[in-house]
Amino acid sequence: MKNLHFLLAALCVLPGAIAIAQPKTAVQKADSVLRLMTLEEKIGQLHQLSSDFATGPITPDGDKQVQVRRGEIGSMLNLMGAARTRQLQTLAMQSRLKIPLLFGQDIIHGFRTTFPIPLAEAASWDLQAIEQTARIAAIEASAAGIHWIFAPMVDIGRDPRWGRVMEGAGEDPFLGSKIAVARVKGLQGKGFGNTDAVLACLKHFAAYGAAVGGRDYNSVDMSERMLWETYLPPFKAAIEAGAATVMNSFNDLNGIPATANALLQQDILKGKWKFSGFVVSDWGSVSEQTIHGYAKDTMQAAMQAILAGNDMDMEGYAYHKHLATLVKMGAVPMARVDDAVRRILIKKFELGLFEDPYKFSNEQREKEQYDNPLHKQIAREMATKSIVLLKNDTVQSRPILPLQRHQKIALIGPLVKSQKDNLGFWSFDFDDDSVRLVSLYKGMQNKLGSSTSMLYAKGCNLNDTDTSGFAEAMAVAMQADVVVMQVGEARDMTGEAKSKSNIQLPGMQEALIKAIHRTGKPMVVLISAGRPLIFNWTADYVPAIMYTWWLGMEAGNAMADVLFGDYNPSGKLPMSFPRTEGQIPIYYNYYNTGRPAQNDDQRFYVSAYIDLPNSPKFPFGYGLSYARFAYGEMQLSKQQLKGNEILQVTVAVTNKSNVAGEEVAQLYIRDLVGSVVRPVKELKHFRKIMLQPGETKELKFVVSTNDLSFYNSQLQYTWEAGEFDIMIGGNSRDVQTKRIYWNK
Ligand code: NOJ
């Protein structure tokens, strides 16, 4: 259906239309449609409903098919598949103006191909690889009729109790910004108009990750400076990279629900940042203002949301029910409604939907993406890159890992044969357990050949008090040369609405680890989870530990690759791992305070706990390799700089081992004295490099005044003259430092 032609023809018969030039840009085209629309049709464009699969209560009223035919719905979520989207689009084509529907979907870490969860991918520090998995998600999803993906989630996560840390890139605004940009680029591909480019949606605007107590949907209270310094950078970077849409959030920020927050949406997003895309609410968040106690009814809620800059109402019915009245009363200017509709129509034009509303609903293309072997291979590679080696002690003169193929291996633990748990939260159930999902057990068989007699015991369940399997597991361990355990969380223990006050390894799993440890056998523990967990005993006593997160459908193959050294682990933690929940929120870029503890033992009238060191169990940026890297002394091009000069920082990194490996060199800066206090260190650059055995590479980083800049008390982004520490290392804790002076 060449729908645009219909609209242009319609435009020409309108009185006064003769003077209007043929529209050329998406904006002009959107305006040409806008002029034809009734108020009800405009409101329809702002109304988004879900199909049957939901992440919140589905509003029962109304027959959606009838509403689509009447042009009362502009977008749908949770409706997938070339056939189904085509079916609904056909109904939209029966509406008066034939404005195509926009189909949105939560595709958080892959569609047909499930990649590692976003937090795991962030551990790769590999921006190209991250962009590539987002690209594949867009290719597969767009082939199933989806135009718009509700990702990336770019919320900073400093609190592992918050279940949604799994969806983001961790605690750091710099790394988070780089990854946000990579994901947007991947999703939006070579630009709208291509059938495999989808609209990205940054979420959740804003500060959702700072929910008090790590409890999902909870309030956020923070200074505007903190907002700008820590929580907004990934949004800003991704908007600058062209992200098409933004979703606001469930939380209130300083007492004002984000959905009705004009500071966030009008002043910052659409004002300062000149964002030209549209803002969608989160599920029902327009009407939830009444529950927050910010609106007395949904009419007031609708008014506040649209005036504050929220364009589309997701599953809320507030706009649908009240916007017309509000406009007629003069409470909401028509110009604001037009602005919201125009923003949405522009995206529909840019996608090419007016020209061909079915261009994404292509059964043939969908079938081709059903089981794409290349995508599967990339899922395996991404999974190997996401694994973080936390510990690899030497026992009997050799490190436990990598394993050797002749060793007799016992696989023990409740996750060893589990397949779906590896997929993690926010994944699709396309697969029958045994078809495409690779458990650790299957991955080890694939590696060693199914004739290999691997020993196995489950040992315990994921989350109960039953220890009856311990004896069998210990007996199995006794027969092996080495034990590999896979423990962690079930797929639904971390995610939306999955906040936890206790983030220790669930159930009897650590007790099982202790029991196996008592056998005296060399052992490796793999921890699969959506968030940083607490496992102090394991960390202290088990000689080899890999944090595997949730690695997706190729999890087992990837774990086997790393266990046997076919891939040398290179992941680095994107979040600090706490010692106890009492340390949370925990992050490396904290302020020094007036009474900092000089070390973990200092407790006397310093900013410390009397019962706990301040340092995390594993620091941000940390991760080992089977190779050993040595950093030479960092060289600075200058120690005194002035104005817009550039500082060159050079460091030689050598692979001192006999295996090739990758290292992520990290550069941090501390501004020693500021007009507002500055963090003890901030990541400003990083580079991931491959080094052959014995090889040395010289890394050069260019530091400019942009790397010194911060938001001052007037919220101006600026730098101040003074002393700065430049730090380089393989993680945020173990760095070498040199001081420079930078004058204005
Ligand atoms: C609620 C979640 O907060 C959001 O991230 C998601 O995109 C929507 N539901 C739609 O499912």
State pLDDT tens for residues 462-494: 999 999 999 999 999 999 999 999 999 999 999
Find the mean pLDDT for residues 215-225: 98
The rounded distance, in Å, linking the Cα atoms of 266 and 275 is 9
Percent with pLDDT over 90 in the chain: 92
> What was the pLDDT predicted at 3?
46
Gap from CA of 280 to ligand 1 centroid (Å): 10
3-state secondary structure of 563: helix
Ligand 1 site residues (CB inside 6 A) read: 55, 77, 106, 150, 203, 282-283, 496
When pLDDT is averaged across residues 496-513 and rounded to a whole number, the result is 98
Residue nearest to atom 3 of ligand 1 (CA): 282
Q: Which pLDDT score is estimated for 450?
A: 73
Collapsing DSSP states into helix, strand and coil, what is residue 55?
coil
Cα–Cα distances (Å) from 26 to 34, 102, 275, in that order, read: 12, 16, 16
pTM listed for this prediction: 0.96
- Residue nearest (by alpha carbon) to ligand 1 atom 11: 55
The identity of residue 575, as a single letter, is M
Residues 6 or more apart whose Cβ sits within 8 Å of residue 26: 346, 349, 350
pLDDT surpassing 70 at residue 148: yes
Residue range 689-695: mean pLDDT, rounded: 98
Residue 45 has pLDDT above 70, yes or no: yes
Position 200 scores a pLDDT of: 99
Which stretch of DSSP H or E encloses residue 690?
Answer: strand 682-691
Residue 9 has pLDDT above 90, yes or no: no
Q: Does the annotation mark 196 as catalytic?
A: no
Quote the CA–CA distance of 228 and 235 in Å, as a whole number: 10
Between 24 and 325, the higher pLDDT residue: 325
The catalytic residue among 282, 421, 561, 707 is 282
Given ligand 1 and candidates 78, 282, 314, 498, which is best to mutate, with the most ligand atoms within 8 Å of its CB? 282
Q: According to the model, what pLDDT value does residue 64 have?
A: 85
User: Which pLDDT score, from 0 to 100, does residue 23 have?
Assistant: 75
Q: How much is the pLDDT for 58?
A: 58
How many angstroms separate the alpha carbon of residue 533 from the centre of ligand 1?
24
What pLDDT is recorded for position 7? 47
pLDDT at 16: 37
Tell me the domains of the chain and their CATH numbers.
1-104+333-370 (no CATH), 375-583 (3.40.50.1700), 629-743 (2.60.40.10)
Residue 282 has pLDDT above 90, yes or no: yes
One DSSP character per residue, 396-437 reads TTEES-S--TTS-EEEESTTTT-SGGGG-SS----S-TTTS-
Mean predicted confidence (pLDDT) in 207-216: 98
> Which of 281, 283, 314 to probe ligand 1 with, by most ligand atoms within 8 A of CB?
283
Return all residues near 451 (Cβ < 8 A) that are at least 6 apart.
none
Q: How confident is the model at residue 14 (pLDDT cuts 50, 70, 90)?
A: very low
Q: What CA–CA distance (Å, rounded) separates 238 from 285?
A: 23
Contact call for residues 486 and 528 (beta carbons, < 8 A): yes
pLDDT band at 15 (very low <50, low <70, confident <90, very high): very low
CA atoms within 13 A on the CB side of 360: 35
Structure tokens at 124: 């790769």
What ligand 1 atom has the least distance to the C-alpha of 201? 7
Region 652-679: mean pLDDT is 98
Mean pLDDT of all residues belonging to the chain: 95
Say yes or no to pLDDT of 744 above 90: yes
Q: What digits encode the pLDDT tens for the residues 393-443?
A: 998 899 999 999 999 999 999 999 999 999 999 999 887 766 899 999 999
pLDDT per residue as tens digits for the range 97-112: 999 999 999 999 999 9
Q: Cα of 55 to ligand 1 centre, how many Å?
A: 7
Q: Tell me the per-residue pLDDT of 594-641, one tens digit each, with 9 for 90 and over.
A: 999 999 999 899 999 999 999 999 999 999 999 999 999 999 999 999
Q: Which residues pair with residue 194 across a beta bridge?
A: 192
Q: What does the block give as tokens for 541? A: 């006593």
Number of H helices, E strands in the chain: 22, 29
What single-letter DSSP state applies at residue 683?
E
pLDDT tens column, 525-564: 999 999 999 999 999 999 999 999 999 999 999 999 999 9
* CA separation, residue 676 to residues 102, 225, 592, 644, 722 (Å): 45, 10, 12, 22, 13
pLDDT value at residue 429: 84
Q: Check whether 695 has a pLDDT greater than 90.
A: yes
**120 SS3 class:** helix
Digit-coded pLDDT (tens) for 70-99 = 999 999 999 999 999 999 999 999 999 999
